[in-house]
Structure 1
Amino acid sequence: MAAFCALLVATAAGCDGGAGAQPPAQRSTAPAAASGGACQLLDFAMVNAKLGLDLSVAAAATQDNTFTCVLQASGASYPDLVLSVSATTIGADIFTAMVQPKDATAVPGLGLVGYQMPTPAAASAGPGVEVGWLAGNKRIIELSLRFAPGTPDEKAAEAIPKVVELAKLIDLSSL
């Protein structure tokens, strides 16, 4: 799923996938939900109010049973917010053992079971936050916020509770 999300982020940022690549993700400055896919669970005003950002561009993609959405600021690659939703048949025990990263912290009150964790900066991206959960409607949902390169780790750490609160709102809207 990470490779698919990377493809979606590259497409949203305007990169060309080359010959044989999947069709480009839908890109829009209309309401986020107008992009379809997992963007139907997001609203720019709600996201920006919770995170203190100015995201205004949405791109959605679907592959098999996974729906993904990327929100970014107009004309900028970062920060970006990525939401992915996949149908599943697993239960909370399997989610905790197989999906939740080992170094993640549990998030009480998020879905059937949820987690949060900071993500380290990468070669072309700054630090971030990942929140994932198993929703009551048999969906694995992951929400990640990534900052620009050079952003201090403290800024990402400060964003964790905000992303968790946004995740709880998304969880309620996915019922």
Structure 2
Amino acid sequence: MRKVLLAAFCALLLGGCDGDAGAAPATQRSTAPAAAAGGACQLLDFAMVNAKLGLDLNVAAAATQDNTFTCVLQTQGASYPDLILSVSSTTVGADVFGSIVQPKDAAAVQGLGLVGYQMPTPAADNAGPGVEVGWLAGNKRIIELSLRFAPGTGDDKAAEAIPKVVELAKLIDLSSL
């Protein structure tokens, strides 16, 4: 999945790159409606995302590799904040998702898919703190939604975003049926 995300980032930020991601999957770049980018972007709408998160995201890039579809939303000309959505088909059940896929330090989210979680993510090299929400959808898909802020953003802003990202995830879950 990291290769797919790298390809989506490269398509969005650099118009493609030759990093160590191997053969780059098909990617598209768009400033049209998010769904026009294809891939997991078909589950997103700029107006819905921006209303829920209080952001101004307006550029979408999608990538597909094997059974994983991704989407990255950003503001034109800025690397952060960014919203990443990935959707992968699976055969695992809720018990396996909860014990293997869900990070150990994540908190459960009620009313999100068959089983869901939320967690803050710490700042990393060249990226600020963020939020991750993941769930096993009723249609046998593992869906992950993450929001990352710019370097130097306080952890309090990421903490405030958790319920907003969870609410967005619930909307996406309904649209993936």
Q: Distance in 2 between matches of 1:64 and 1:147?
A: 29
- CA deviations 1:5-44 (Å, max 9, x no partner) are 2332233112642286415621111000001000000000
Q: In structure 2, what is the equivalent of residue 116 of structure 1?
A: 118
- Do structure 1's residue 77 and structure 2's residue 79 form an aligned pair? yes
Partner-residue secondary structure (3-state), 2:145: strand
1:9 aligned onto 2:18: no
Structure 2 portions without partners, runs of 5+: none
Once residues 24 and 4 of structure 1 are traced to their aligned partners in structure 2, the CA distance between those partners, rounded to angstroms, is 9
Alignment of 1:55-70 (within 5 A): 55-70=57-72
How far, CA to CA, are the matches of 1:91 and 1:18 in structure 2?
Answer: 36
One-letter amino acid matched to 1:159: A
Which residue identity lines up with residue 172 of structure 2 in the other structure?
I
- CA deviation string 1:95-131 (max 9, x = no partner): 0011000000000000000000000000110000000
1:79 and 1:146 in contact (8 A); partners too? yes
Q: Is the contact made by 2:7 and 2:63 (CA closer than 8 Å) also made in structure 1?
A: no
CA distance in 2, matches of 1:49, 1:9: 23
Q: Is the contact made by 1:11 and 1:24 (CA closer than 8 Å) also made in structure 2?
A: no
Query: What is the CA RMSD across the aligned residues, in angstroms?
Result: 1.4
- Give the Cα separation in 2 of the matches to 1:66 and 1:154: 32
Shift of 1:139: 0.3
Q: Closer, same or farther in 2 for the Cα pair 1:55/1:150, shift >3 Å?
A: same
Question: What amino acid sits opposite 2:42 in the alignment?
Answer: Q
| Large movers: runs of 4+ above 6 Å | none
* 8 A contact 2:68–2:89 mirrored in 1: yes
Report how many residues are paired: 175
Once the two structures are superposed, residues 53-100 of structure 1 have per-residue CA deviations (whole angstroms, 9 ceiling, x without a partner) of 000000000000000000000111100000000000100000001100
- 8 Å contact from structure 1 (residues 33, 41) kept in 2: yes
TM-score by length of 2: 0.95
Structure 2 distance, partners of 1:16, 1:4, is 12
Amino acid at match of 2:14: G
Quick one: which amino acid aligns to residue 61 of structure 1?
A
Q: Relative to 1, partners in 2 of residues 1:27 and 1:14: Cα closer, same or farther, differing over 3 Å? A: same
Q: Summarize the alignment of residues 1-175 of structure 1 with structure 2, pairs less than 5 Å apart.
A: 1-14=1-14, 16-18=16-18, 21-22=23-24, 25-175=27-177
Give 3-state SS (helix, strand or coil) of 2:150's partner.
coil
> What is the alpha-carbon distance in structure 2 between the residues aligned to residue 116 and residue 92 of structure 1?
16
Q: Give aligned-pair identity as a percent.
A: 78
